[in-house]
Amino acid sequence: MPKQNKPQKPAPNPEQALYQALSLCRKAGQLTMGFDAVEEACVKGKAWLVLTASDASPKTVQRMKNAVGDLVDVLPMPLTQDQLAAVCHRAVAVYAVTDRNLAKLCFDRLTDCGIIMNEEELSE
């Protein structure tokens, strides 16, 4: 009897995929949240990637970049604090991913969202 092809689920949009990646980080215990906790994780060398919510204040983002920008990449997300509240159960503007592989996953999802440009695109 031939195999029947199961209908494929539609691929989630890039923002939903990023949200799912952050949720996975949280469930794995590899997501640090809040300015002070993220800064401490970066200084101790535990953070691989720092992410900021799209509605984080410019002052907060600049302070984070000044504090840890030379240690870890600080990247904006297309998600707001309200959208991310379901992940962490409160509104948080700054996140750090403390696992290398999960950080790569989040980085790839940010690339899919168009936040990160490829080096080839930047050189033109």
Q: What is the per-residue pLDDT across 50-104, written as a single tens digit (0 to 9) for each?
A: 999 999 999 999 999 999 989 999 999 999 999 888 888 888 999 999 999 999 9
> Is the model's pLDDT at 120 over the cut of 90?
no
Q: Could you give all domains of the chain from N- to C-terminal order, each with its CATH number?
A: 14-114 (3.30.1330.30)
Q: Indicate the pLDDT class of residue 115, thresholds 50, 70 and 90.
A: confident
What does pTM read for this prediction?
A: 0.82
DSSP readout, 37-93? HHHHHHHTT--SEEEE-TTS-HHHHHHHHHHHTTTS-EEE-S--HHHHHHHHSS--S
The pLDDT tens digits for 26-59 are 999 999 999 999 999 999 999 999 999 999 999 9
